[in-house]
Chains A and B, each alone.
Chain A
Amino acid sequence: MLYPLIETTHVLTLCLFLGMIAMLDLRLLGVAMRGVPVSQVAGRLLPWAQAGFALMVISGVLLFYSGPVRASQNIFFQVKMVMLVLAGVNAFVFHRGIYRKVAAWDEDSVTPVRAKVAGSCSLLLWAGVVVAGRMQAYNWFD
């Protein structure tokens, strides 16, 4: 009963975490919410994404400890962890870089190239994390 509940939490928190991240990324790409300033999308949605991320990490760590050896030897798990780190680096570079000058492009529907790159990398990396995470259930290469 406990394992399914934790796993369901892990999956459904995806809506909160990745849903909010995806909306920000789509705004960075200039394809969604073009009439809403970027700083408002980031400022109002990222706290929800952070709460979602905390839940994902807690439930994820619990799931991991139900079978740590098996999980860490799984190639999909390893790929997932690498992409997770890369997604973190991408977010760091974005916030320390082009987002510092957001005032200059806040209301633009056509966003700077560096913002578009950050949004695309984020979408691709997080999609990779989800796919690798799901594939972890299949031990094709064990």
Chain B
Amino acid sequence: MSLLPFFEWCEATAIGEAIRSSLWLFPVIECVHLLALALIGGAVLIVDLRLLGLGLRRQSVAQIARDAQPWLVGSLATMLATGILLFLSESIKCYYSPPFWCKMSFLLVAASFALTVRRKVTAADESRVGPLWGKLVGLVSLGLWFGVGFSGRWIAFY
């Protein structure tokens, strides 16, 4: 079964149509998407750097993760909302774009990892997790989010 009809339906929605026919809507949504990227970068990095033993070190992983949580959730929600809008305006292009599928795969894995393993490890007592596991989780998280960002930028090129 092909997903193409769904992508065609997305492209034909009134929202997609409105964004396509406007000169400034796409750039403005894109700018919000980018600003949220900076924020999600900060919220992910302070925790992953802490897991790696870099960045803030005097506070516990759990405390840094708690502090970062609302900013992570807020920026991720903003990225999803603006991302969906951008997608609706060029769904069929996305369907034929390998980087788009690459980004969605990375996003699925990165988000699942953040909600399961990473959340468990950051909330747990550090003496129970062990520094090596923490470092591994930090590295995997950074790698996965990097994959999302990298392939995302390449949607514009292919």
Contact = CB atoms under 8 A, between A and B. Distances in A.
Interface of A: 4, 7-8, 11-12, 14-16, 18-23, 26, 32-36, 40-41, 44-45, 48, 126-127, 130-131, 134-135, 138, 140
Contact of B58 (A15, A23, A40, A135): A40
Contacts of B153: 4, 7-8, 11-12
The 3 closest A-B CB pairs, nearest first, are: A15-B41, A19-B42, A19-B41
Contact of B67 (A12, A14, A32, A45): A32
A21 to B, nearest CB: 8
Given A12-B150, A15-B45, A140-B23, 14 more contacts: A11-B37, A14-B41, A15-B44, A19-B43, A19-B45, A20-B42, A20-B46, A21-B42, A22-B38, A36-B56, A48-B55, A130-B35, A130-B38, A134-B30
Contact of A36 (B30, B35, B38, B59): B59
Interface of B: 23, 27, 30-31, 34-35, 37-46, 49, 55-59, 63-64, 67, 71, 146, 149-150, 153-154, 157
Name A's interface SS. Answer: helix
Nearest to A25: B42
A109 B131 CA distance: 30
